[in-house]
Amino acid sequence: MGLFAALSPRHLSNPSTSLPSLDLCGALSTTDCSSTSPSSLTRVYSFVPASPRLIGFPEQKAMAYNFTLSSGHFAGAAVAFLTVWLVLRAFGSPESRFPVLNKKGRFELSGARVRKEYNENSWSMMQQGIKTFDGGPFRISSADRGEIVVLPPRFGPKIRNDRRLSLSSLVAKWNLSHFEEFDIFSLGNSPTQIMQSVFRKDLTQSTGRFMLPLSQECDYAIPRLFPTSTEGWTTVTVLPTAFQLVSRLDLLVYLGRDSARSDAFTNDVCNFVMQARPALIALRAWPSFLHRILRLFLPQCQKFIATRRRVIGMINAANESKGERPTQASDEQSTHFRSWYDRQQRQLGGKYEPATAQLLAFAAISNTSDLLAKVIIDLAEHPELIGPLRNEIMSVIPTMGWRKIAIYKLFLLDSVLKETQRLKPVQVGFMEREVLQNLTITDPETKDPIHFKRGGTIMISPGQMREPSVYRDPENYDGYRFYRLRFDEGEDPYADAQKPGPPDPRLAGDVGDKDATDRRSSHQLTSLSNDHLGFGLGEHACPGRFHVASEVKIALCHLIMKYDWKLVDGKPRSVQFGNAFLSDPAGKVAFRRRKETYPWLEGDGIQATLAAAVATAA
Q: Which residues are annotated as a binding site for heme?
A: 542
Give the containing element (helix H, strand E) for 424: none
What one-letter code names the amino acid at 252?
L
Please give the Cα distance from 376 to 365 (Å, whole number): 17
Secondary structure, 3-state, 466-509: HCCCCCCCCCCCCCCHHHHHHCCCCCCCCCCCCCCCCCCHHHHC
Distances (CA, A) of 405 to 132, 390, 415, 513, 611: 45, 18, 16, 22, 15
Closest CA to 384 of 523, 492, 488, 480: 480
Please give the Cα distance from 3 to 581 (Å, whole number): 10
Please give the Cα distance from 556 to 553 (Å, whole number): 5
Closest CA to 532 of 418, 405, 376: 418
Please give the Cα distance from 105 to 114 (Å, whole number): 9
Please give the Cα distance from 404 to 500 (Å, whole number): 11
56-89 in b/e form (b: 16+ CB < 10 A) is eeeeeeeeeeeeeeeeeeeeeeeeeeeeeeeeee
SS3 577: strand
Please give the Cα distance from 118 to 149 (Å, whole number): 14
Number of H helices, E strands in the chain: 24, 12
Instruction: Provide DSSP, 15-80.
Output: TTS------TT-B-TTS----S-GGG-B-----PPPPPPP-S-PPPPP--------HHHHHHHHHH
Q: Which residues are annotated as a binding site?
A: 542
Closest CA to 437 of 173, 145, 165, 158: 165
User: CA geometry: angle at 14 spanning 49 and 140, to 5°?
Assistant: 140
496-521 in b/e form (b: 16+ CB < 10 A) is ebeebeebbebbebbbbbeebeeebb
Distances (CA, A) of 471 to 379, 423, 466, 475: 20, 11, 7, 9
Residues with Cβ within 8 Å of 491's Cβ and at least 6 positions away in sequence, in order, are none
Secondary structure, 3-state, 426-448: CECCEEEEEECCCEEEECCCCCC
Query: What letter does residue 91 receive in the DSSP assignment?
Result: S
What one-letter code names the amino acid at 410?
L
